[in-house]
Structure 1
């Protein structure tokens, strides 16, 4: 037992002093190394946890430590075990040695499994670098940009219709220094959307009109249309055509660069919420949900299950698309605030499985460490929302110039603008002229 807590005790007790001292020195050095990592590099541990190379190294290191520790316990037992004539003593000490080995191997094996799962998720969801250049340096991962923009897509593949419809589209514009975030919501039913220059604009010179008389030509159809028509995005492989064209289209609509996207399947989103243990939101008005109105979310602040959160974000019964967009922003805000490291760690295996099934993205792996640090800033920063819905914007004849002007004004971080938005407490969809603080509007 003493050798399990401090390597080399059994060796010293049996007069194997050199080996005993060597084992003690190795043990002290190992503990010193672990303590150094968890103190001096504690702020970078999460960043290391999303780098496949480091995760592989961590897995190997954990396996080596576990095997070495187990070997020390077994060797110590062999040195001090009772004589063979002492049957009871042999049985008890053998049982104790086996228990000590299990005590070392079990948590180490679990930690190694978590590292393996992390590597698997990172490799499955996030793209590898497109070239062999040096990885993004931590000093300036955003290449001097004051803001970085992400297109967040909620996709719904219903049995009654082919393909994927991007029914929820939000651009998160994040201040790279402070984490202050503005969410720009685009309604799914925007019409006559101007497509980017090139083959897409040539096919639809007067705005996107859909694929024949059976499709109305809405913004939420562009993703699948690009997937079904390779000539719209030449040279882009299947599975990436939709995100590529939608990012460029949204970038033109808002007048800001949108280099990255993340898309979550709606049913998979419910699994992620369940893996988190639910999400706490304020339901301001009772929400009827279910295909046959079989469910009801009463008004009040409560923790929602995955299914309830899904209906909270997607139900249009007794409301409309624009009210639903407001609730979706509140749900994003709640998840961003509540997904703390301990919650993630407790449900890691469920989250990993749900994430692989539900999420796709083109964020490169070498950007993940910087993104982890940025997300930590976002949790403590202000999140605001501006949705381009009626009466500000007509979805039938959108004023594209007005949209770009409102985006520019919203991202103007002058103190006067900050003060005005910080005291704004209306519903996200009631005053579309300026961004709304989600902490105030959703609370």
Structure 2
């Protein structure tokens, strides 16, 4: 029963994988910005920029000019007022411009690991609650035994602000349902931020379960991409950048992003997603997702090879 319960909830926030792809496109996508758009973007990135002193295990300094592969830890944090929150979504992305590819490893939030800085075994999402971004980066780096160069932290509730900043999105809905106080009829529907969040959260009423929810997530993400690429969205660019600045933190600087755009843009041609394999287990009356050493090693080897280390 515990394993079944885990399967039902392990994708609770898998929509953030798609958000991760959008963030990656933001970092390595092309595009020519008008003068005022450029400066609005720079101001937003300056607001997002939050350096962190993690224990990076990389030998030598990373140089974007030399097109070296690099890694990013994506943290999806459900932050509430007065609560630090936990990183309920953790994705490690490795970007390789030589192979023109991106690897995305999803780490289940209940994964049992050593929390670096505390010397205890706990769920990996507890690292953020104990020590924020730094402890999360150090713990993931220690667990996978690869350097974690950068991080991107997304406030879950900020997703709705980004949708609203774009003026809403349009999707083609194939299931009639109500959720979160909203009704979603079949056919083409318009979603504002709050509707979009509830649209992608519903699972139990869908006979396809998580598969149906993932399809809705992709539809909303596609709506965001379509709206963002349209000429009409240019009228919303200030709101969009403001929403990004309020809800995203990263140690990537504006200059870093410019270098990535210049040297890594083709990496988005091939995005491969995979997840750690393991099983649920009760330890001292606490549920954990236990990853066998062989599976951890497999993930390590794959990412290390992609980083060309």
Give the CA RMSD over aligned residues. 4.3
Matched, 1:171 2:92: yes
Q: Which piece of structure 1 moves more, 247-256 or 302-311?
A: 302-311
Q: Report the CA distance between 1:399 and its aligned residue.
A: 1.9
- Report how far residue 285 of structure 1 moved: 6.0
Partner of 2:192: 305
1:359 has 2:248 as partner: yes
- Taking a change above 3 Å as real, the CA distance of residues 128 and 265 of structure 1, as seen in their structure-2 partners, is closer
Residue in 2 aligned with 1:223? 128
1:97-112 equivalent positions in 2, closer than 5 A: none
Change (3 A) 1:301 1:183: farther
Per the alignment, residue 236 of structure 2 pairs with: 347
Give the equivalent residue in structure 2 for 1:248. 138
- 1:362-392 Cα offsets, whole Å, 9 max, x none, are 113331112224674355x132322336xx4
Q: State the SS of the aligned residue for 1:173.
A: strand
Partner of 1:271: 161
Which secondary structure state, in structure 2, belongs to the residue aligned with residue 171 of structure 1?
A: strand
Measured in 1, the distance between the counterparts of 2:267 and 2:170 equals 18
TM-score by length of 1: 0.48
| Higher RCO (C-alpha 8 Å, min separation 6) | 2
TM-score (norm 2): 0.65
1:394 corresponds in structure 2 to 280
**Residues 293-344 of structure 1: per-residue CA shift (max 9 Å, x gap):** x23546778664322332344445458xx93998398479748965548576
Alpha-carbon offset, residue 361 of structure 1? 0.8
Structure 2 unmatched ranges of 5 or more: 1-28, 54-60, 282-287
**C-alpha spacing 1:125/1:284, structure 2 compared with 1 (3 Å):** same
Q: Are 1:382 and 2:287 counterparts?
A: no
Which residue pairs with 2:26 in the alignment? none
The answer as to whether partners of 2:171 and 2:219 remain within 8 angstroms in 1 is: yes
1:171 Cα deviation after fit: 1.8
Aligned to 2:107: 186
Which 5+ residue runs of structure 1 have no aligned equivalent?
1-44, 50-110, 209-217, 227-241, 415-443
Q: Greater Rg, structure 1 or structure 2? A: 1
- Distance (whole Å) between structure 1 residues aligned to residue 171 and residue 49 of structure 2: 29
Would the alpha carbon gap of residues 129 and 118 (structure 1) be closer, same or farther in structure 2, given more than 3 Å must change?
farther
**1:170 Cα shift?**
1.6
In structure 2, the CA distance between the partners of 1:262 and 1:222, relative to structure 1 (3 Å rule), is same
d(CA) in 2 for partners of 1:353 and 1:359? Answer: 10
With over 3 angstroms needed to count, the CA separation of the structure-2 counterparts of 1:246 and 1:46, relative to structure 1, is same
1:124 corresponds in structure 2 to 47
SS in structure 2 at match of 1:347: helix
- Aligned residue for 1:363, secondary structure, equals coil
Q: 1:114 to 1:123 in 2, by over 3 A?
A: same
Structure (1/2) with the larger strand percentage? 2
Alignment of structure 1 residues 193-342 onto 2, 5 Å = 193-196=113-116, 199-201=117-119, 204=120, 207-208=121-122, 218-226=123-131, 242-279=132-169, 289-290=179-180, 294-297=181-184, 304-315=191-202, 317=204, 323=210, 327=214, 330=218, 334=222, 338=226, 339-340=228-229
Change (3 A) 1:265 1:129: closer
Whether the aligned pair in 2 keeps the contact of 1:186 and 1:387 (CA below 8 Å) is: yes
> Is the Cα contact below 8 Å between 1:287 and 1:312 reproduced in 2?
no
Q: 1:152 aligns with which of 60, 69, 74?
A: 74
Secondary structure, in 3 states, of the residue corresponding to 2:106?
Answer: strand
